Structure 1
Amino acid sequence: MRENRMRLRYTLSAATGALLLTTLLAPTASAGASVGSAKLLNSDLEAVRAEPDPTEPGGSTLLRATVVNHGPDTTGGPFTLTVRLPLGAEAEEPFFPDTCRLAILSSGHTVRCTFPRGLPANASVTADIPVRISPNAPVGDLEGGSTQATALLYDRNPSNNRAPFTLRVVEA
C-alpha cells in the first residue's frame, strides 16, 4: 500500500514538472505568460564585468558589482547578485545595499545580495563590496572572481548572467 502512495506522489510531481517545463520552453509567443504574480521570460539580466582599483598586499579596494536589466520589461520577481572573490581576497562589511550578506561557510569569499522585483528595463543596480587583499598575496592578478545574477523563471537570456573579474595586486 505504501509503495502505491509513493508512486502516485512521484507521478503528480512529474506532471507538475512537465507542465512547468512546457510553460518555460514554449515558443516566444508565450513569453510574458504569468505564473502567480511573476511574468515569465520578460527581462534580460546581465552581470557587468567589475573592474576594482588595484591595491597592495594587505590593502583594500571597493568592488562595484552591477546588474543591468536589458528588458524588454521590468523584472517580474526578485533576483540575486552573487559575488565570488578569488583566493587571497576577503569581503569586509559593511556592504551596500544592506540586503547583501556573507554566504555561510564561504570564509569571506562569497557575498549574496537580494533585490526586489521591479527593476525597469534599461536600468541597473549596483552592490558595493569592500575587499581586503591578504598581506601574503603575490603581486599580480588574483583570478577566479565572478559576479552572477540569478533570477528564477523570468530571465530570458541566462547566457550573460555571469561575468569574471580579476583583482590586481601591486607593489606597495
Structure 2
Amino acid sequence: MSRLLLSRALRAACAAVLLGAGPAAADVCAAGADLVVSAADPAPVADGGSTLLNPVVTNAGGTATAVPFTLYVHLPPGVVGTGKSSGATCATLPHGHTVACTVPAGLAPGASVTAEVRISVASGMDHEVLEGNVEAALPDDPTPDNNSRTFKITII
C-alpha cells in the first residue's frame, strides 16, 4: 500500500474512533506514534575491514505503531552492509548500499528496536571520514524531523 493510501486509511480509522468515542479520544489520535532514530558512529575501520553500526528506533509517541515501518541504513559508495535484528526483518537491497529492516506494527510507546548492521569497507579506500544516514519511515509520524540521523564512518 502506498504511503498516501496508508495515511488516508489511518486518518479514516482515527475519525471513526472519534465519532464513536467522542472528544476524549481526540488526544489518543493526536498523540500517535512518534519514531525517534539514534545511531552512534561505528568504531573506526581499516580499508577492507568491517565494523558494526547499531541504529535504534524508539517510539516516543503516545500510542503503539498502527502499521509496520521500515528502518533504512543508507551507506556511501565503497561501503556495503548486512543487517539483522531480533525485532525486525532485515534485508540488504540491491548493490548493498542500503539495509532495510521492517518492524511489525505494535511498537509500544517507550519501546525500542535495535538493528545490527555489519558495515564492510572496500579494499584500497583512502583514510577518510564518510557519512551515512539512518532513517525510519512511518506514515503520519507527527514529528518527522527526528526520523533520521547522520553517522560517520572513519576509515583508518
Same fold (TM over 0.5): yes
In 2, Cα distance between equivalents of 1:110 and 1:157 = 24
* Paired position in structure 2 for 1:80: 70
Match of residue 13 from structure 1: none
Q: Could you list the per-position Cα deviations for residues 24-77 of structure 1 after superposition, in whole angstroms to 9, with x for gaps in the alignment? A: 8x9xx84644xxxxxx76111011133211111111101111111112222222
More helix by share: 2
Counterpart residue number, 1:119: 107
**Are 1:130 and 2:118 matched, yes or no?**
yes
Retained in 1: the 8 A contact 2:31–2:61?
A: no
Give me the whole-angstrom Cα distance separating, in 2, the residues matched to 1:96 and 1:121. 19
* Poorly superposed stretches of 4+, deviation over 2 Å: 29-33, 94-98
* Whole-angstrom distance in 1 between the partners of 2:123 and 2:26: 54
Contact 2:28 2:62 in 1 (8 A): no
Q: Which amino acid in 2 is paired with 1:88?
A: G
Alpha-carbon separation, structure 2, partners of 1:108 and 1:31 = 42
Shift, 1:88, TM fit: 1.8
Rg bigger for which structure?
A: 1
Q: How many residues align?
A: 137
Alignment RMSD (CA, Å): 2.4
Residue-by-residue CA offset, 1:93-142 (whole Å, 9 max, x unaligned): x6334610011x3x110011001111121121011011111112111201
Secondary structure of the corresponding residue to residue 145 of structure 2: helix
Identity of paired residues, percent?
36
Distance 1:101 1:86, change over 3 A: same
Quick check: 2:31–2:63 contact (8 Å CA) kept in 1? no
Q: Distance in 2 between matches of 1:55 and 1:136?
A: 12
TM-score of the superposed pair, with normalisation by structure 2? 0.77
Unpaired runs of at least 5, structure 2: 16-24
Matches within 5 A, 1:13-92: 20=8, 23=11, 30=26, 32-33=28-29, 42-92=32-82
Rounded to whole Å, the distance in 2 between the matches of 1:46 and 1:138 is: 33
